[in-house]
Amino acid sequence: MQNNFGFIIMGATGDLAQKKLFPALHGLLKMNRIDGNFYVVAVGRKQFSNEEFRQHVKSAIPKIHEDSWKKLEEKLYYFDLDFNETNGGFKKLESFLKELEQKHQTNQNRLFYLATLPSHFKNIAANIRLHGLAETSGWCRVVFEKPFGHDEKSAKELNLEISKVFDEKQIYRIDHYLGKELVQSIGILRAGNRIFSPLWNKENIDHVQINLIEDFGVEGRGNFYDGQGALRDVGQNHLLQLLCLVAMEIPSKFDEKCIRNEKVKVLKKVKFATNDAVLGQYEGYTSEDGVSKNSKTETFFALKALINNKRWKGVPFYLRSGKNLAKKFASIYIQFKDPNYTVFESQTLNQNYLVIQIQPDDGMLVQLNGKVPGEKMKIQPVKMTFCHECAFGPNTPQAYETLLYEALCGDQSAFIRSDEIEHSWKVTDKVIKKKIPIQKYAKGTFGPKESDEMIEKDSRKWFNKIENVVQGL
C-alpha cells in the first residue's frame, strides 16, 4: 500500500484525466493499494469549485464504490491555472501544495502527471523549476503522457529541457500498453517456461506479427490526429515497445535498468524495410471534423522490420495498425517453422503458432498438430489456451492503475528511458521521411490491398483472427 503522497494532475479537465486517471485512482483505493495520508490536486484552466469538480469526476467513474469514492472525494481539490500565464499562478500552486502537505501530512512527496497537450510540456517543466515545485524534502516524480516528441529531434530537445528540472530517475514517460497484464507477462512467458525459451530464435521462428487493429475512426480527435498519423500515434510507441519485449534478450534481472538496457539494444538493431512499407487512409477521413481537406496523414500502416543480431537475423517482424478496419483486436502472433521430419508422407501439416492476445479477451493460445481419433495418421490442428480472467479472476488491475501505482512506488521498469525514446523515433523517422504514397482503403476492410500484397510476396498471410482463449475454438 502506498500513502504519504500528493498527486498533481496537470490538464485534469481533459479526456485522459476524466476517462483514465480518476477512474484509476478510484480503482487503486478500491483495491486498497493506496490509502492513508494523500491528496489529489486537479489543475486546469476552467473555473470549478472543489465541490463542482468532485461531482464532475464522480459522473465520469463507472461503477462507483461508495467507500472508495468517499476517500477520494475528501482529498480531491481543484486549482485553476493557465499553463501559459506569467502572473504568479505556479507560485500560488506551490503555496497551495505546502498547505495540503501540512494538512494531510504527506512528507512533501509529489507525483506530477502531465496529462496536457505535448506543447505544454516544456513550459510546465520550466515553471515547476522556476517556482521550486520540484524542490521538496521528500521524493518528487513526473509522468509525461505520450506523445513525447514529434520526431527524434524534438524528443531530444524535450529530454534536454526537462533534464534541467528533473533527473532521469524522476522521469516517467508513459506508454499505457506497458501496463497491460499480458504485455507485462511476455518476459515471464519466455524466461519462466523451458518449452518456449529454447525455441525463441531464428532457427525455430518463421516470422512475428504485431497487430493493433481498430474498428473505429478518429472519434473527434481530428485536430490532434491529423498532425500525428498512425505511425506517430501507435507505431513509434505501442508497436515498437511490443517488438522490443518479444525480441530482447532475457535480462539478467527483471528490474528497470536491465529491462530497459535490453530494449535499447534491440532498437539499435531494428531497421524498417522502407520498400516493404504500406501507408493508407480510410475513405472519408478528410471529411472528419478537424481534418484538412487535402490531408496526406496516414490512418493505417503495415511495415516489415528486420533485427540485425544473432538471434533474429533474417526473421521478419510485421507491424500493422489502422483505424476503421474490419475488427478490433491487438495481438502478437508468433509462427514457428514447419517440422523437419519426413514421416508424414503426403500430409500437409498446419503451422504451429503462439498468439499473445492483448485484447479483446486477454490470454494466450498455442496451435499444435494432433491425431484424429480412429484414423490412422490423420492429423488436424488442436489448440491449447490460457485465459487470463479465467485463471486470475475479473479484478485484474487496468493498465493505468498498474502504471500509476508503479510510479508511486518509484518503479520505472514499465516506463521509457530517454535513450529508448530517441532510438524509437530514429527508427520511425526513416519511414516518415521516405514520403511513402498513401493508399485509400474502404472502411470495414483490413486496409489497402497493397498491405496484403506486401506480406503475400513473402509467402505469408496476415493473422486476422480473434482467438477464443476461453474455449480454444
Start-end of H helices in 75-172: 89-104, 121-130, 152-162
At residue 371, what are phi and psi to the nearest 5 degrees? -85, 135
What CA–CA distances, in Å, run from 277 to 138, 188, 280, 292?
49, 32, 10, 24
Which one of 207, 238, 388, 423 is the catalytic residue?
A: 238
| Element (DSSP H or E) covering residue 361 | none
> Is 26 among the catalytic positions?
no
Element (H, E) at 79: strand 76-80
In the block, which residue shows the cell 493506496? Answer: 34
Q: State the CB neighbour count (10 A cutoff) for residue 472.
A: 16
Whose CA is closest to 142, among 32, 30, 164, 232? 164
User: Could you tell me which of 148, 8, 24, 13 has the C-alpha nearest to residue 402?
Assistant: 24
- Note the helical H segments in 314-448: 388-392, 399-409, 418-432
Our CA angle for 247, 297, 161, nearest 5°, is: 65
Which cell is 225 given? 490526429
Q: Give me the active site residues, please.
A: 238
